[in-house]
Structure 1
Amino acid sequence: MSEENDNIAPLNKDKNDLMPDDQKVEQVNTENDEKNPIDALNSSVQSMHKICQELLQKQKNLEKTNMEIIEKLRSAEEKIEKQSSELQQILQEIQLKSTETNEESDDSTVPLENDNSLNTASSDFTKTTIPREIMPTTGKYFVLRQIFKNVSNMKDNDIRWSEIEEHFGVAWSMSMCRKKDFLSFCCLQSTDTGKWMIEVRQQLVLISNRIEKVREGTATFTNIGKKCNTSGWSSFMNWAKSQKDFLLDDQLTVEVHVKIKKTTGIYKDNLRSFDETMEEFSDVVLVVNEEKFYVLKKFLAVHSSYFKSLFLGQFQESKRSEITLTGIDADDFQNYLELLYGDNPIDEITVEGILLVADMYDTPLVIRKCEEFLLKESKKTLKKKFQMSMKYHLEALKEQCLDKIKSVADIRSVLPEDIHELDPSIMPELLKKSLALHDPQ
């Protein structure tokens, strides 16, 4: 029997020698796995841990890239504004030289008699080939657009008004007037609050198919001291010239581009303090229009992907104790923080400013609360709610607005003066509504 075993052993050895190398390795690994199952498990865990680390690193790199893009965009906007100011100075010099050689009365730019606060930076682009500057559209920016009809029938001192529009809690409108041989424009602002002041940059544009005429300047609307709630140009253009160059089918198309720079006294009293009295409870200071807000980094990071990247990402700002935020209003940021900290600052006046900040800093909680107010409590017009639903991507509000459209008149009421300003994604919905109204069956 022992001789048979001795004979079998060499045979097995010969079989192992004839086995391919990969099978030998597999056999060894199998034997090792059977002997060391814990080692195999540890190896798998280490592999998974390595994969997770790589994914986290990629996520951090992506957040860093997003923040860099945001900062570059903001830096670009600041450079554009600076270059715009320089361009305006150059254009003023061109205008002055043009005025010296050509004393046509329609080239003069005169502030309205009751608006001493307007510093006009006139630019007559009907006489130059320099394209008009595009005003930055971030922050509190809006456009009043009106098509004035039957203009040729206007007599001396006739005034035409645009519809009143509400933007950022304030009512705005513009007027056109014929004053003897001149065409006059002004922008009107009104609010029911106490003492208030609004600083704006505005650009008035007269439009035709081939040319534009632009006037631009800064203005301060206020009811403090010497009241002044209008600004504009009493001699914007020679009347005959406006009829010749800008009248199309007896209609005059006018735009007023407005960028609100600062507001005072428009909003309610603060519900909570974020000033230096909160310094011991904060770990960072955020500066908005020279006003300081003492807050907690991680609290903001929990609610906002922007602040998460800013404070916890791989950026120089994450190590700073004081960071400046641009493109927003201090009052709006105050209301935004109050809402995050549990107070309720939302009302008809504050809601759009809060939404602007929440949308900019990607804060779902604040956006949701603002949308709930607009859905359940707000008395804003259907047109205004519809505009806000598209601008701030409020799907529930958009659906509510569409449900409230019951007639062709309702459809007309929500359409902007310029149909090209309407979000293309909403056109099919309005078309369906229109077809349903014309063919109820």
Structure 2
Amino acid sequence: SYFSSLAVTMASESTANPTPAPHDFYSDHPTSSCNLIIGDKTLKVSSELLGMHSHFFRSLFFKANTKKEEEMNEGTPNLIRTEIKDVRLDNVKVEEVIELLNIIYPSDAPITDDNVKFIIELADKYLFNVVLHECEQFLKNGSKLSKEDRLVIADKYHLCDLVDIIVKDLSKSEISGLISLKLSERTTKAMVKHLTSS
């Protein structure tokens, strides 16, 4: 299938170089099969890799195989490629999309305090669920962002476990300072409950 053969190709590329350089999305690559057009820039990417990581791109580039069950054999893929080759992305910055792509490509770029806010926004917008989870894990375990910044991000993207962890770690004075923020009802209730129970 598209996805399994691509995974093998990408895995062999990543093991050949333990610290791969960022991918060059402006040049053709053997796995490039479509273009992301952002303003006047064109990024050459793998529709298969995007489809593996994003429900948004999977629905653009692949459709269900409509062959009848008796017409399908063991090697028949469940999904078949659509004719879409070019996708225009509006209201995004090309540099930020490249950082997101480098997280899912073999370059395996890290999520950092410098990029987590726009990476999580793009991951949410284009339904990169694994990247959303990686952002949540980073905000739980590796981020040096303030509690307020992490709480605002967690609230905005409905990361309920992270909200609960941060709220439990807040002092009364921190909660008093945060109550005025425009947070969701769930997060505000969690802060009030923590404030009144401690």
Q: TM-score, normalising length from structure 2? A: 0.74
1:219 corresponding residue in structure 2? none
2:96 corresponding residue in structure 1? 332
> Given the alignment, which residue of 178, 189, 195 partners 1:428?
189
Q: List runs of 5+ in structure 2 lacking aligned partners.
A: 1-20, 65-81
1:327 CA drift (Å):
2.2
Give the whole-Å Cα distance in 2 for the aligned partners of 1:287 and 1:327: 11
1:388 corresponding residue in structure 2? 153
Query: Given that residues 163 and 187 in structure 2 are in contact (C-alpha distance below 8 angstroms), is that contact kept between their aligned partners in structure 1?
Result: no
Give the whole-Å Cα distance in 2 for the aligned partners of 1:289 and 1:409: 45
1:284 corresponding residue in structure 2? 34
2:144 corresponding residue in structure 1? 379
1:303 CA drift (Å):
1.4
Give the whole-Å Cα distance in 2 for the aligned partners of 1:416 and 1:335: 33
Q: Return the structure number with greater relative CO, CA threshold 8 A, min gap 6.
A: 2
SS of 1:276's equivalent in the other structure is coil
> Given the alignment, which residue of 173, 185, 197 partners 1:409?
173
SS of 1:319's equivalent in the other structure is coil
Alignment of structure 1 residues 218-297 onto 2, 5 Å: 271-278=22-29, 280-297=30-47
Give the whole-Å Cα distance in 2 for the aligned partners of 1:379 and 1:416: 23
Query: Given that residues 271 and 345 in structure 1 are in contact (C-alpha distance below 8 angstroms), is that contact kept between their aligned partners in structure 2?
Result: no
Give the whole-Å Cα distance in 2 for the aligned partners of 1:353 and 1:289: 18
1:399 CA drift (Å):
1.9
Matched, 1:303 2:53: yes
The structure where strand makes up a greater share of residues is 1
1:345 CA drift (Å):
3.4
The structure where helix makes up a greater share of residues is 2
Deviations 1:78-126 (A, max 9, x none): xxxxxxxxxxxxxxxxxxxxxxxxxxxxxxxxxxxxxxxxxxxxxxxxx
1:277 CA drift (Å):
3.7
RMSD (CA atoms): 2.0
What amino acid is the match of 1:334? I
What amino acid is the match of 2:190? E
1:306 CA drift (Å):
0.6
Give the whole-Å Cα distance in 2 for the aligned partners of 1:373 and 1:392: 14
Give the whole-Å Cα distance in 2 for the aligned partners of 1:329 and 1:313: 28
Give the whole-Å Cα distance in 2 for the aligned partners of 1:307 and 1:360: 11
Deviations 1:386-440 (A, max 9, x none): 000011122232122112113x2110232345xxx22112232122112113xxx
Query: Given that residues 275 and 292 in structure 1 are in contact (C-alpha distance below 8 angstroms), is that contact kept between their aligned partners in structure 2?
Result: yes
Give the whole-Å Cα distance in 1 for the aligned partners of 2:144 and 2:157: 18
Query: Given that residues 35 and 44 in structure 2 are in contact (C-alpha distance below 8 angstroms), is that contact kept between their aligned partners in structure 1?
Result: yes
Give the whole-Å Cα distance in 2 for the aligned partners of 1:325 and 1:396: 31
1:281 CA drift (Å):
2.5
| Alignment length (residue pairs) | 161
Matched, 1:347 2:112: yes
1:286 CA drift (Å):
0.7
2:79 corresponding residue in structure 1? none
What amino acid is the match of 2:129? P
Identical pairs, percent: 23
1:273 CA drift (Å):
1.3
Query: Given that residues 164 and 190 in structure 2 are in contact (C-alpha distance below 8 angstroms), is that contact kept between their aligned partners in structure 1?
Result: no
Q: List runs of 5+ in structure 1 lacking aligned partners.
A: 1-269
Give the whole-Å Cα distance in 2 for the aligned partners of 1:299 and 1:364: 14
Query: Given that residues 383 and 413 in structure 1 are in contact (C-alpha distance below 8 angstroms), is that contact kept between their aligned partners in structure 2?
Result: no
Deviations 1:211-266 (A, max 9, x none): xxxxxxxxxxxxxxxxxxxxxxxxxxxxxxxxxxxxxxxxxxxxxxxxxxxxxxxx
SS of 1:346's equivalent in the other structure is coil
Q: TM-score, normalising length from structure 1? A: 0.35
